[in-house]
Amino acid sequence: MRHSVPKGIIGMVHLSALPGSPGFCSTLEEVESQAILEAQTLEAGGVDAIMVENFGDVPFQKTVEPITVAAMTRIIRAIVQNSEIPVGVNVLRNDPAAALSIAAATGASFIRVNVHVGAMLTDQGLIEGEAAQTLRLRANLGVDIAILADVGVKHATPFEADWSIEQEAKDAWHRGLADGLIVSGSGTGAPTDPVLIQRIQALIPEAPVLIGSGYRGEQTTAHAAIVGTALKSEGRVDPSRVRELRFRCFS
């Protein structure tokens, strides 16, 4: 059985550096307060869902430390309790077990997994998909949490010489049992090629296909768009940008 994937605009809450990461320079209370404020701003502006990720924790680890899990659980639980829309989790660089555990503990309803199947070369080295472990953990936890899997994930190069985004999409959907497929541009804020969206939709018409980067309100056939950069001004969520994008998308 597939799990429900949010439709429409998924607004990003990019957490500032968390305790234990090199950039942490404030307090956990300040990071939490800013995250809650940004989530409230996104919801008030009309987004359909929220995703929270540890964006400030550069350089990223393949799997995160316990303090990161603890801090994200605290913050995301507060956001879930204050939100009337679905909340998702992404643990960078690629820690689906942590993301799923945080979601289960906080009441979040979906997670993003950058590398769900196959393998990608990244600035963290080789990252291998853990679909088997992730699906079994979800089954053991008995939770209704959707898995959104990137295909051709940004900031990465395919490891396999004969890789194609179509094959990764088919593997992620049919063999990795992802609930939705995310297609992005080459990096954060980079436009997603609409032709790629259409190709994957034609290949797997039953799969929800999401835009993962660079969306700014243009017409699209995608199921949803994950939006961060376009909603920010000087590094913070800008209420006017949220309202403008929401109006253009759904007017």
pTM of the model: 0.95
Pairing of strands 146-151, 8-14: unpaired
| CATH number, domain with residue 119 | 3.20.20.70
Q: In terms of residue numbers, what domain contains 196?
A: 8-250
pLDDT of residue 216: 87
| 240 assigned to some structural domain | yes
pLDDT of residue 235: 85
pLDDT of residue 244: 86
Q: Within 13 Å of residue 201, how many CA atoms lie on the same side as its CB?
A: 15
Is the per-residue pLDDT at 191 higher than 80?
Answer: yes
pLDDT (average), residues 121-133: 96
pLDDT of residue 247: 67
| 118 assigned to some structural domain | yes
pLDDT (average), residues 150-170: 92
Is the per-residue pLDDT at 98 higher than 90?
Answer: yes
| 180 assigned to some structural domain | yes
Report d(CA 149, CA 134) in Å as an integer. Answer: 11
pLDDT interval class at 96 (50, 70, 90) = very high
Mean pLDDT lowest for which of 7-21, 81-95, 217-231? 217-231
Is the per-residue pLDDT at 61 higher than 70?
Answer: yes
Top pLDDT among 55 and 219 is at: 55
pLDDT of residue 234: 84
| 35 assigned to some structural domain | yes
Yes or no: say if 186 and 154 are a contact pair by the CB < 8 Å rule: yes
Yes or no: say if 92 and 68 are a contact pair by the CB < 8 Å rule: no
Q: Return the percentage of the chain with pLDDT > 90, whole number.
A: 84
Q: What ranges in the chain are assigned the alpha helix state H?
A: 28-45, 66-81, 96-106, 131-141, 165-170, 194-203, 239-250
Is the per-residue pLDDT at 250 higher than 70?
Answer: no
pLDDT of residue 251: 46
Which of the 8 DSSP states describes residue 229? G
| 134 assigned to some structural domain | yes
Is the per-residue pLDDT at 189 higher than 90?
Answer: no
The tally of domains found in the chain comes to 1
| 125 assigned to some structural domain | yes
pLDDT of residue 154: 87
| 2 assigned to some structural domain | no
∠ CA 145-146-147 to the nearest 5 degrees? 120
